Amino acid sequence: MADRHESGVLDTCTYIDLGLLDPAVLPEVPELTVITLAELHRGVAMAKDAAARAVRTEKLGAAIVEFEPLPFDGQAAARFGTLVALTLEANREPKPRRLDLMIAAIASARGMPLYTRNAKDFAGLDGMVQVVEV
């Protein structure tokens, strides 16, 4: 695929659905953020039963082993503020999207595309984050 990115950030839903996706639509080197790891930990804690907890624990364990997560650093924090402002300008409420915006801020601050299953979650961020819907 000629337009396949060398690297890119997977948002949490994309990582969770990784086994369902054609690798050709993903970056050659997928990256995760510390925010996604936090969301995966939350998913384990919130599992309704042992079977769900086991599946979520496997997914979390694989992420821990396979990825060195990108941090939410000072550059990402500054970009987060910009993305919140853009979200407000688009007449959208940033509070329920704060984790998505933090993931997007990490990708944006590093000049990396963001791969998602829910592009609508990132509406209004054009020009600051390259969103790739998969």
How do the domains of the chain map onto residue ranges? 7-133
User: For residues 61 and 52, what is the distance between their CA atoms, to the nearest angstrom?
Assistant: 14
Fold of 7-133: Rossmann fold (3.40.50)
Phi-psi region of 127 (alpha: psi -120 to 50; beta: other; left: phi over 0): left
The pair of three-digit structure tokens given for residue 73, joined into one six-digit string: 């650093």
The residue ranges of the chain whose pLDDT is under 50 are 1
Residue 80 has a pLDDT of: 98
User: For residues 97 and 101, what is the distance between their CA atoms, to the nearest angstrom?
Assistant: 6
Nearest CA to 64 among 27, 108, 23, 15? 15
Q: How far is CA 76 from CA 46, 47, 120, in A?
A: 27, 30, 21
Residue 128 has a pLDDT of: 96
Residues in the chain: 134
Residue 126 has a pLDDT of: 87
HSE (side-chain half, CA atoms, 13 Å) at 15: 31
- pTM beyond 0.85, yes or no: yes
Residue 1 has a pLDDT of: 44
Alpha helices in 10-73 (DSSP H): 12-16, 34-45, 50-66
